Amino acid sequence: MDRSRGWQGSSVPEDRTEAGIKHFLEDMDDAGLNKFVKDFPGSENCHQPEAKTWGSRPQVLEPRPQAPDLYQDDLEFRPPSWPQASDSQQYCSASAPLSPSARPRSPWGKLDPYDSSEDDKEYVGFATLPNQVHRKSVKKGFDFTLMVAGESGLGKSTLVNSLFLTDLYRDRKLLSAEERIMQTVEITKHAVDIEEKGVRLRLTIVDTPGFGDAVNNTECWKPVAEYIDQQFEQYFRDESGLNRKNIQDNRVHCCLYFISPFGHGLRPLDVEFMKALHQRVNIVPILAKADTLTPPEVERKKRKIREEIERFGIKVYQFPDCDSDEDEDFKLQDQALKESIPFAVIGSNTVVEARGRRVRGRLYPWGIVEVENPGHCDFVKLRTMLVRTHMQDLKDVTRETHYENYRAQCIQSMTRLVVKERNRKPWAQSKQVLGSP
Ligand code: GDP
Atom of ligand 1 nearest to the CA of 207: 4
Q: Does 58 contact ligand 1 (Cβ within 6 A)?
A: no
3 state SS of 148? strand
Atom of ligand 1 nearest to the CA of 154: 3
Q: Quick one: DSSP state of residue 152?
A: T
Segment among 39-48, 341-350, 396-405 with least mean pLDDT: 39-48
pLDDT value of position 433: 56
Nearest CA to ligand 1 atom 19: 155
Closest residue by Cα to residue 33 from 434, 430, 429, 435? 429
pLDDT value of position 93: 34
Who has greater pLDDT, 162 or 323? 162
Q: Does 70 contact ligand 1 (Cβ within 6 A)?
A: no
Most confident of 117-126, 308-317, 322-331, 407-416: 308-317
Closest residue by Cα to residue 379 from 287, 302, 308, 309? 287
- Residues in the chain, overall count: 437
Q: pLDDT (tens digit, 9 = 90+) per residue, 218-248?
A: 777 888 999 999 999 999 988 887 777 778 8
Most confident of 51-60, 70-79, 108-117, 265-274: 265-274
Nearest CA to ligand 1 atom 15: 155
Average pLDDT over residues 201-218: 78
Who has greater pLDDT, 102 or 44? 102
CA dist list (Å): 209 to 109, 254, 284, 288 = 53, 17, 18, 16
Average pLDDT over residues 183-210: 82
Q: Does 292 contact ligand 1 (Cβ within 6 A)?
A: yes
Atom of ligand 1 nearest to the CA of 151: 3
**Whether 40 contacts 408, CB under 8 Å:** yes
Task: Assign 114 a pLDDT band (cuts: 50, 70, 90).
Answer: low
Sign for the CA dihedral angle at 120, 125, 130, 136 comes to: positive
> According to DSSP H, which parts of 97-203 are helical?
129-140, 156-164, 177-182
pLDDT value of position 190: 85
Please state, in angstroms and rounded to a whole number, the distance separating the CA atoms of residues 204 and 248.
Answer: 12
Q: pLDDT (tens digit, 9 = 90+) per residue, 51-95?
A: 333 334 544 434 444 433 433 333 333 433 333 333 333 333 333
For the chain, percent of residues with pLDDT exceeding 90: 32
Task: Assign 33 a pLDDT band (cuts: 50, 70, 90).
Answer: low
**CA 98 and chain centroid, separation:** 30
Please state, in angstroms and rounded to a whole number, the distance separating the CA atoms of residues 366 and 70.
Answer: 57
- DSSP secondary structure of 28-50: S-HHHHHHHHHHS-SSSS-----
Cis peptide before 130 (omega within 30 of 0): no
Q: Give per-residue burial for 382-407: e unless 16+ CB within 10 Å, then b.
A: bbebbeeebbebbbbbbeebbbbbbb
Nearest CA to ligand 1 atom 17: 155
Query: Which residues, in sequence order, are CB contacts of 344 under 8 Å at separation 6+?
Result: 286, 287, 290, 293, 298, 301, 302, 377, 378
- Spacing, Cα 175 to ligand 1 middle (Å): 15
23 dihedral zone (left: phi>0; alpha: psi -120 to 50; beta): alpha
Q: Examine the pLDDT at 117 and tell me if it is beyond 60.
A: no
pLDDT value of position 274: 94
Atom of ligand 1 nearest to the CA of 346: 23
**Whether 158 contacts 293, CB under 8 Å:** no
Helix (H) or strand (E) segment spanning residue 202:
strand 199-207
pLDDT value of position 128: 83
- Spacing, Cα 159 to ligand 1 middle (Å): 8
Q: Quick one: DSSP state of residue 211?
A: T
Quote the mean pLDDT of the chain. 74
Amino acid at 64: R
pLDDT value of position 363: 92
- Spacing, Cα 347 to ligand 1 middle (Å): 7
Task: Assign 103 a pLDDT band (cuts: 50, 70, 90).
Answer: very low
Query: Which residues, in sequence order, are CB contacts of 395 under 8 Å at separation 6+?
Result: 144, 253
Q: Does 346 contact ligand 1 (Cβ within 6 A)?
A: yes
Q: Does 188 contact ligand 1 (Cβ within 6 A)?
A: no
- Spacing, Cα 370 to ligand 1 middle (Å): 15
- Spacing, Cα 288 to ligand 1 middle (Å): 9
Please state, in angstroms and rounded to a whole number, the distance separating the CA atoms of residues 58 and 63.
Answer: 14
Please state, in angstroms and rounded to a whole number, the distance separating the CA atoms of residues 371 and 385.
Answer: 16
Q: Based on the number of CB atoms within 10 Å of its own CB, is 50 exposed (0-12), middle (13-18) or buried (19 or more)?
A: exposed
Who has greater pLDDT, 251 or 1? 251
For the chain, percent of residues with pLDDT exceeding 70: 63
Q: Does 260 contact ligand 1 (Cβ within 6 A)?
A: no
Site to probe by mutation for ligand 1, drawn from 148, 154, 158, 292 as the one with most ligand atoms within 8 Å of Cβ, is 158
Q: Does 376 contact ligand 1 (Cβ within 6 A)?
A: no
Q: Based on the number of CB atoms within 10 Å of its own CB, is 284 exposed (0-12), middle (13-18) or buried (19 or more)?
A: buried
